[in-house]
Amino acid sequence: MAVQRCIEPACGATFGLNERLYVCSLCGGLLDIEKPCELIGEALALREVWMTRLASPDTSDRSGVWRFRELLPFSDNAPIVSLAEGNTPLYEAPRSARYCGLQSLKLKHQGSNPTGSFKDTGMTTAVTQARILGARLLVCASTGNTAASLAAYAARAELACAILVPQGQVSLAKLAQTLDYGAMVLEIEGNFDDAMRAIRELAEDESIYLVNSINPFRIEGQKTVAAELLQQLGWQVPDHLVMPGGNLGNSSAFGKGFRELFDLGLIDRLPQLTVVQAEGAAPFAHLFARHEQYRPAQDTPVKLTVIENPQTLASAINIGAPVSWQKAWREIVWTRGHALSVSEQEIADAKAIIGRDGVGCEPASATTVAGIKRLVADSIVGKDENVVAVLTGHLLKDTDYVINYHRETLYTSDHAEGKTETGTRITGTFANHPVRVSATGDDILKTLECEQQQRKLQNQGK
């Protein structure tokens, strides 16, 4: 039988799947869901059935999550809540590859999910579990993407939901989505970490089901992205998988996904997982820097130091106390991966470059390309290695940021919040200004010629 198991090595307590828990009731440790390999199936048969489902019109087969349902801890008659999530594109990104100094780079765009972020792949399973448990009110704290995702899936399931967001720190696009899907939105005084602390006080209330990334059923849905990616790659394991790090649920999920596929014999090695954070919100990268020298064994106790006042314009990862850090740490150690941080300027420039590949993403996602550029420069990633970067949110999730970058009016968060008058301006290295012209063919042609000339010179320079 599949169970929920406490990840603390000294505890390891197990609980039934339908016990309404968020953490271990004995020691407070995070919970993993464990499904024995023999209940999942045989590698070759799985590959075949997953391939066959790509051509199936069935709702659960059309979902990029439920298509891999053998990996999930649900029975065949589970009341699935789906918006046809997953099935996200894997793009070849030559412009970004050149920028990083790589021969090639692939972008797995999780921002192409129904609500524009990777959160949907975990929300479909968490809200399905909520239905199984008979929950009436779903609640989460969010920097914005989880809010939009939960609101959509709760609406789909006809369940009430409430969202706690840090006041004034969520992009308007994400707030707009959440309101449109009908969620109750509660704005909390403070930052995301304060909202998260407040929400933990609600865990005891029987009428409420918490759907934060600490909820192990969210990780279950998100882990299927590993299978989808490998299927797209013809089951050739990339050397590196690089993703942004905020609350670290996504890194945990990718790690779990790859390990399970390895245990099942679907792959014969693991990619190295790398987590990239923004400099002003990088507790996990700091932890890695402290322990990098001696590469700790799997069970060496390590302690994350919380960042009290995290600051980054990449609001999706503006998190100082990531709840899933122990799980993510485990995956980094198991795969001999890395964690690092990049500056606001590096994020902004990398984001513009991803845009030039015709792909685009929200700021947090661009930490990946910025991080890969660093890792290549430091010879940690080889120029000819196979690298996949995970983009977590859609370009339109934060249009203020984009417009300000291209107008060269993008300032660091201190300035944005009016705390200092001298907030640092981000240089628009790849800025793309709109140009004013009069409504005459002559003027338009003249301007176009001039613009094209300038771009030619710019491209030669870079």
**What is the nearest approach in angstroms of Zn ion to the Cβ of residue 299?**
15
**What is the nearest approach in angstroms of Zn ion to the Cβ of residue 28?**
7
**Which CB atom, from 303 or from 436, has the smaller least distance to Zn ion?**
303
**Which CB atom, from 4 or from 112, has the smaller least distance to Zn ion?**
4
Choosing from 3, 11, 132, 184, the residue that interacts with Zn ion (CB under 5 A) is 11
Calpha distance 248→285 (Å, rounded): 11
Choosing from 24, 140, 188, 388, the residue that interacts with Zn ion (CB under 5 A) is 24
**Which CB atom, from 20 or from 156, has the smaller least distance to Zn ion?**
20
- Among the residue ranges 18-26, 128-136, 298-306, 383-391, the one whose residues contact Zn ion (CB under 5 A): 18-26
- Among the residue ranges 6-14, 99-107, 197-205, 363-371, the one whose residues contact Zn ion (CB under 5 A): 6-14
- Among the residue ranges 8-16, 30-38, 69-77, 206-214, the one whose residues contact Zn ion (CB under 5 A): 8-16
**What is the nearest approach in angstroms of Zn ion to the Cβ of residue 320?**
25
**What is the nearest approach in angstroms of Zn ion to the Cβ of residue 250?**
23
Calpha distance 119→146 (Å, rounded): 6
Enumerate the β-bridge partners of residue 184.
Answer: 162
**Which CB atom, from 23 or from 333, has the smaller least distance to Zn ion?**
23
**What is the nearest approach in angstroms of Zn ion to the Cβ of residue 13?**
5
**Does residue 25 touch Zn ion according to CB under 5 A?**
no
Choosing from 9, 16, 27, 448, the residue that interacts with Zn ion (CB under 5 A) is 27
- Among the residue ranges 4-12, 75-83, 89-97, 356-364, the one whose residues contact Zn ion (CB under 5 A): 4-12
Q: CA neighbours within 13 Å on the CB side: how many for 45?
A: 6
Q: 140 with 119: CB under 8 angstroms?
A: no
CA 251, 253, 255, 261 torsion: positive or negative? negative
**What is the nearest approach in angstroms of Zn ion to the Cβ of residue 6?**
3
- Among the residue ranges 2-10, 91-99, 123-131, 314-322, the one whose residues contact Zn ion (CB under 5 A): 2-10
Residues binding Zn ion: number (CB under 5 A)? 8
Closest CA to 150 of 204, 209, 199: 209
**Does residue 29 touch Zn ion according to CB under 5 A?**
yes
**What residues from 51 to 90 belong to the interface with Zn ion (CB under 5 A)?**
none
**Which CB atom, from 21 or from 380, has the smaller least distance to Zn ion?**
21
Q: 400 with 171: CB under 8 angstroms?
A: yes
**Which CB atom, from 30 or from 65, has the smaller least distance to Zn ion?**
30
Choosing from 5, 6, 30, 143, the residue that interacts with Zn ion (CB under 5 A) is 6
**Does residue 396 touch Zn ion according to CB under 5 A?**
no
Choosing from 13, 90, 133, 185, the residue that interacts with Zn ion (CB under 5 A) is 13
**Which CB atom, from 7 or from 175, has the smaller least distance to Zn ion?**
7
Pairing mode of beta strands 272-278, 240-244: parallel
**Residue in this structure with the two tokens 């094209």, named with its chain if needed:** 452
**What is the nearest approach in angstroms of Zn ion to the Cβ of residue 71?**
24
Site string for Zn ion, 98-137 (x = CB under 5 A): ----------------------------------------
**What is the nearest approach in angstroms of Zn ion to the Cβ of residue 303?**
17
**Which CB atom, from 31 or from 316, has the smaller least distance to Zn ion?**
31
**What is the nearest approach in angstroms of Zn ion to the Cβ of residue 10?**
8
Choosing from 1, 9, 18, 26, the residue that interacts with Zn ion (CB under 5 A) is 26
**Which CB atom, from 6 or from 402, has the smaller least distance to Zn ion?**
6
- Among the residue ranges 26-34, 56-64, 65-73, 364-372, the one whose residues contact Zn ion (CB under 5 A): 26-34
Q: 116 with 364: CB under 8 angstroms?
A: no
**Which CB atom, from 256 or from 394, has the smaller least distance to Zn ion?**
256
**What is the nearest approach in angstroms of Zn ion to the Cβ of residue 9?**
10
Token pair belonging to 211: 């759907």
- 3-state SS, the chain, equals CCEEEECCCCCCCEECCCCCCCECCCCCCEEEEECCHHHHCCHHHHHHHHHHHCCCCCHHHHCCCHHHHHHCCCCCCCCCCCCCCCCCCEEECHHHHHHHCCCCCEEEEHHHCCCCECHHHHHHHHHHHHHHHCCCEEEEECCCHHHHHHHHHHHHHCCEEEEEEECCCCCHHHHHHHHHCCCEEEEECCCHHHHHHHHHCCCCCCCEEECCCCCHHHHHHHHHHHHHHHHHCCCCCCCEEEEECCCCHHHHHHHHHHHHHHHCCCCCCCCEEEEEEEHHHCHHHHHHHHHCCCCCCCCCCCCCCCCCCCCCCCHHHCCCCCCCHHHHHHHHHHCCCEEEEECHHHHHHHHHHHHHCCCCCCHHHHHHHHHHHHHHHCCCCCCCCCEEEEECECHHHCHHHHHHHHHCCCECHHHHCCCCCCCCECCCCCCCCCCCCCCCHHHHHHHHHHHHHHHHHHHHHC
**What residues from 273 to 302 belong to the interface with Zn ion (CB under 5 A)?**
none
Q: Which residues bind Zn ion (CB under 5 A)?
A: 6, 8, 11, 13, 24, 26-27, 29
